Amino acid sequence: MGSSLALRGALGANEKVNLAIVGVGSRGRAHVNGYLGIDTARIAAVCDVDTAQTERAVAMVEKAQGHKPKIYQDLRKLYEDKDIDAVSIATPNHWHALSTIWACQAGKDVYCEKPASYNIWEGQRMIAAARKHNRMVQVGMQGRSTPHKVKAVELLRNGVIGKVYMAKGCCYKRRKSIGHTPDEPVPSGVNWDLFLGPAPLRAYSKNRHVYTWHWFWDTGNGDIGNQGIHEMDIARWGLGAGLPAGAVSTGGKFVYKDDQETPNTQLASFDYGDAEMVFEVRGLNSGAESGVTATREGHVGNVFFGENGYMVVDDSGYQVFLGDARTPGELVKSDRTPANDATRLHMRNFLEAVKSRKREELKGEIAEGVASCVLVHLANTSYRLGRKLKFDAKTESFIGDAEANRMKTRNPYRSPYIVS
């Protein structure tokens, strides 16, 4: 398929990018709000397998932009629309790859929510599609566009705490039990086959649907691939590292007796030779972590440890502590004004690249997003197999472990939703 930008003609400096939002649940409506605050964006269409979700999104757009966007339930029909320049994807994780690859094939640029991919194979195919079709593909790891986090990483690069020997990320975000929900008829207006897509066919249950799909292996990657990927990306970025030589992850689903499959407590360690990355998930009651700011939901952020001190980085800002006395150093608080909204800044960066056609301008380009996402998959593979894994970063394969290599992809994909 030809590029929609080519079919419409090259976008002028002041021309708006025609966007479609794919998946307009809670995060998708945040996408709607984000683009509504950007003068170069025009939301031309919305798409969701649930008609109730599209109705809410349409009302938001109509009120703000004064026009009614087109409505689609099947993204394949949306991608045939030659008026759409780019898509912003907020589907469940198991749809990220197909929705991105098909968009690239249709000549659309893509903003895709984190984590980039559901598994390692899908990330590889997403990069290949972006390159083959020369598409701008941004992953929604908005920490890369957050001013104080950008400054924090610059300081680490410039040796503010000396050589960094460990990056630790934490996601101590309180998660309540999801309980048990029975199989039941599919709600009116929901295309359950489309929701499941490449995942195995399952009977409808509320816990497998809105948001709590994160906690099932068919569709999600647990909290390490939900909130956790944001902090893992910052940890890898601050460490200045690529992919590790190995990983080990332990944990479990403790306390709760419910439908959740993924762990609510997880500890992962990644081997970078002369440095280490550690990541921890705690969904139950928990205390603080080395100065990471507390919120009503818990403690979420990163700590970088160096030969001369350490640095704490989270959404509230960053703080440097130096020497054995942990003497407070540079302190920067986050600018929480609407102009510095991290998601909107990241989306604006995406739209600028859509116009310039320079992928190097993207703050969360697909290759970076996939690299950080591989850490999620390494941790979850180790956790599920119950053993330490050796990894070849060049081939993105597990060394001497056929079972782990089989888990790099989904076997089988459910036709016709096949990532190839």
Provide the CB-side half-sphere exposure for 168 (13 A, CA).
Answer: 17
The number of folded domains in the chain is: 2
Same domain, 377 and 314: yes
Same domain, 79 and 158: no
pTM > 0.85: yes or no: yes
Distance of CA 220 to the CA centre of its chain: 11
Same domain, 132 and 198: no
DSSP-derived letter for residue 226 is T
The model's confidence at residue 337, banded by pLDDT at 50, 70 and 90, is: confident
- Residues 142, 343: Cα–Cα separation, whole Å: 5
Q: Is residue 63 part of a domain?
A: yes
Tens digits of residue pLDDT in 84-142:
999 999 999 999 999 999 999 999 999 999 999 999 999 999 999 999 999 999 999 99
The model's confidence at residue 339, banded by pLDDT at 50, 70 and 90, is: confident
Same domain, 57 and 76: yes
Average pLDDT along the chain: 95
Same domain, 170 and 290: yes
Same domain, 172 and 103: no
Which residue, among 213, 226, 223, has the nearest Cα to 181 in the 3D structure? 213
At CA 16, angle to CA 344 and CA 108, rounded to 5?
80
Q: Is residue 293 part of a domain?
A: yes
Same domain, 70 and 12: yes
The pLDDT of residue 2 is above 90: no
Average pLDDT over residues 284-295: 88
- Domain residues for the domain of 219 are 146-181+189-334+372-406
Q: Is residue 414 part of a domain?
A: no
Q: Is residue 412 part of a domain?
A: no
Which residue, among 165, 147, 145, has the nearest Cα to 156 in the 3D structure? 165
Same domain, 92 and 217: no
Same domain, 225 and 287: yes
pLDDT at site 7: 45
Q: Which two three-digit tokens encode residue 168? A: 């630790």
Q: Is residue 419 part of a domain?
A: no
Q: Which helix (H) or strand (E) holds 309?
A: strand 309-314
Same domain, 347 and 283: no
The model's confidence at residue 10, banded by pLDDT at 50, 70 and 90, is: low
Q: Is residue 379 part of a domain?
A: yes
pLDDT at site 290: 80
The model's confidence at residue 190, banded by pLDDT at 50, 70 and 90, is: very high
Same domain, 164 and 17: no
Q: Is residue 413 part of a domain?
A: no
- Residues 408, 70: Cα–Cα separation, whole Å: 37
- Residues 176, 172: Cα–Cα separation, whole Å: 12
Same domain, 121 and 240: no
Whether 5 contacts 44, CB under 8 Å: no
Q: Which CATH number characterizes residue 33's domain?
A: 3.40.50.720
Q: Which CATH number characterizes residue 196's domain?
A: 3.30.360.10
Residue that has been written with the tokens 């099947």 in this structure: 74
Collapse the DSSP code of 386 into the 3-class scheme (helix H, G, I; strand E, B; otherwise coil) and give the result. coil
Q: Is residue 78 part of a domain?
A: yes
Residue that has been written with the tokens 């439908």 in this structure: 259
pLDDT at site 295: 84
First to last CA, the chain: 17
